[in-house]
Structure 1
Amino acid sequence: MRFLFLFSLSFILGCNTLPKDRYNLFTFSPKGNYVKDSTVEISLSNPIYCPLLVTISSEQDSAGLSVQLSEISPIYLPPMLQDTILQLRGDSTNGKSRLLWSISYAHTPDTIQADSFFLPYPYGRTHSIMQSYHGSFSHNNDGARYAIDFALSVGDTVCAAADGYVVGVIEGYEKGGNDSKWMDYANFINLYHPTKNVYTQYVHLKKNGSLVEVGDRVAAGQAIGISGATGWTSKPHLHFNVVRWIEGKRVSVPATFRQKTLISGSDFKRGGRHENLIRTKSF
């Protein structure tokens, strides 16, 4: 998943049955101004509690500017970074070119630890598995290979699987469908877990179904959302995914879960039922 931010944004949808509005996970406001002749001043900041990668390119093939942008991109932005100022000098003979911005989540250099997650629903609740690792319906690509679909009903509570920060929320969509064209129209929450250096995703939430906002700090077991059936889905459920980001691309990773003993995510089989047996310290 990559997010494209232009100075002038427009969204053109090819199917009238899909939502007309599109939403961003968080607000990212880069600035690029020509301050003198062909000198470009770029101001970047990171407003969220996770690392970001920013790639900048020039709309026109301005040799001097394009080369410099390719040399510095992608740019790594640590969490909550205040303004970083860059100055680049382009080729004045080609005029002023509009800048294009592409942004994705990133990681610190630390090792990832995709272990000891809590089940993403309240203590004492039991839910069955709709789709597990390598599921043929939609878990057959790098971005979702180790995701697990829990059969939560519309209105069920979704909980944070570990301590972390809210780094993305989309909750404006209302509908879904059993067709891949709905893939980009799901409501979901992204959390970043600094101690584990991974992200978790909670997908298919109902409209206005987020109980948290970008920037919130959450604790394992805390209620963060309400389950629904938005986006690409055949029936209501929670799509739970532990991911890392490699060169701007989402990569699903296998995880372990806390029950009476640690359970590998590979042990969650389609049709199996799992009660959340562990009460967190806070909830």
Structure 2
Amino acid sequence: MNKVIIWICSLLSISTFAQENFKVYYEENENGYKIYANNGEFCPVSVEIDFKIENLSSSIGDIKIIEVPAQTTKFYIADLTVIDRRKALRLGFSVRYNHGNHLQTSFDKDYAYHLPFKKGAEYMVTQGYNGTVSHHNEYALDFKMPIGTAIYAARDGKVVLVEQSFNKTCTEQDCAKFNNYILVYHSDGTFAEYTHIKKGGAKVQPGEMIEKGQHIGYSGNVGWSTGPHLHFIVFLQRFRDRETLPTKFLVGNGKQITQLEEKKKYSKSY
């Protein structure tokens, strides 16, 4: 081969996980290059790769979105094959990535979630779907809870991320960066986030499998919050945002399934 121009791979993470947990890289071979990915996250990660190449042909075209399975090393992405060995090469690519399957559209719409608190308790939903305070165009629920209330898993899943280091609270949206939370990945590709947990309030850790009804943490009043509560959402992850999803819950003795409404109290006796 003659001159080879290699760009440093530009990695752009749109999520909150560390860059060292996910990377795209290449290895040279006799025909050109192979592109691989390592995913150290506890859920699949979607990567969009944009090739900028000359005198190389890509086995997947210029731009492609690929789902990389959780805890995967050297996951094959593409072959870049030399077209003319007498000419210079140019190899460059940029990627963006985020948790989950960016292309996913289907999920279990009829799943019956458990209320995220202990048996025998009752709490009010102070802000529901498309709420006027902070739930604009969002399927999100706020359960009014005193600080230190035990939080229970609404569904089985794997813990992906835990943030519990913050203690700052304010009512401005900029304070969302101080939110403490537990992020859980479900078997149907959806995620649940339990937000505003108190500092040091998680009882689970990333990589842990949890069961529906398991005690996972304690509520708080941390981050973007107007008072002590648990913020709960279920969503499909997109590169730059989240597609929040409506949910149904078992209420009362667990025989009734309903969509929760704002300003109503719900009890759990199952």
TM bracket (short chain): 0.7 to 0.9
Deviation at 1:202, TM superposition (A): 0.5
Task: Point out where structure 2 has 5 or more consecutive residues left out of the alignment.
Answer: 1-8
Deviation at 1:198, TM superposition (A): 2.4
Query: Please, which of 74, 97, 102 is the counterpart of residue 97 of structure 2?
Result: 102
Deviation at 1:156, TM superposition (A): 1.6
- Looking at structure 2, the residues matched to 38 and 173 of structure 1 have their Cα atoms a distance apart, in angstroms, of 51
Query: Please, which of 270, 276, 279 is the counterpart of residue 268 of structure 2?
Result: 276
Pair 64,185 (structure 1): closer, same or farther in 2 beyond 3 Å: farther
Amino acid at match of 1:136: T
Root mean square deviation of aligned Cα? 3.5
- Looking at structure 2, the residues matched to 66 and 275 of structure 1 have their Cα atoms a distance apart, in angstroms, of 61
CA offset digits 1:134-178 (Å, max 9, x no partner): 10111113xxx2210011222221111011111222223221311
Amino acid at match of 1:166: V
Query: Please, which of 227, 248, 256 is the counterpart of residue 262 of structure 1?
Result: 256
* Contact kept? 2:166, 2:178, Cα under 8 Å: yes
- Looking at structure 2, the residues matched to 170 and 68 of structure 1 have their Cα atoms a distance apart, in angstroms, of 39
Describe how 1:86-235 pairs up with structure 2 within 5 A. Answer: 86-88=78-80, 97=92, 99-106=94-101, 111-141=107-137, 145-194=138-187, 196-235=188-227
- Looking at structure 1, the residues matched to 256 and 161 of structure 2 have their Cα atoms a distance apart, in angstroms, of 28
* Contact kept? 1:56, 1:69, Cα under 8 Å: no
Which of these two proteins has the greater Rg computed from alpha carbons?
2
Amino acid at match of 2:97: S
Q: 2:43 maps to which residue?
A: 50
Deviation at 1:75, TM superposition (A): 0.6
Q: 2:75 maps to which residue?
A: 84
CA offset digits 1:229-271 (Å, max 9, x no partner): 2221111211001112356641111111112333322x4222x
Pair 89,153 (structure 1): closer, same or farther in 2 beyond 3 Å: farther
- Looking at structure 1, the residues matched to 204 and 20 of structure 2 have their Cα atoms a distance apart, in angstroms, of 15
Which protein has the bigger helix share? 1
Task: Point out where structure 1 has 5 or more consecutive residues left out of the alignment.
Answer: 10-21, 279-283
SS of equivalent to 1:30: strand
Deviation at 1:49, TM superposition (A): 4.8
How many residues are matched?
254
* Contact kept? 2:22, 2:41, Cα under 8 Å: no
Q: 2:64 maps to which residue?
A: 73
Deviation at 1:116, TM superposition (A): 0.9
Q: 1:14 maps to which residue?
A: none
Pair 249,119 (structure 1): closer, same or farther in 2 beyond 3 Å: same
Amino acid at match of 1:118: H
TM-score by length of 2: 0.77
Which protein has the bigger strand share? 2
State percent identity of aligned pairs.
25
Out of 110-119 and 66-75, give the one that drifted further.
66-75
* Contact kept? 2:39, 2:71, Cα under 8 Å: yes
Out of 40-49 and 199-208, give the one that drifted further.
40-49
TM-score by length of 1: 0.74
Amino acid at match of 1:162: R
* Contact kept? 1:166, 1:191, Cα under 8 Å: yes
Q: 2:232 maps to which residue?
A: 240
CA offset digits 1:193-237 (Å, max 9, x no partner): 21x442211011222322111111101111112212222111121
- Looking at structure 2, the residues matched to 72 and 95 of structure 1 have their Cα atoms a distance apart, in angstroms, of 16
Amino acid at match of 1:74: I
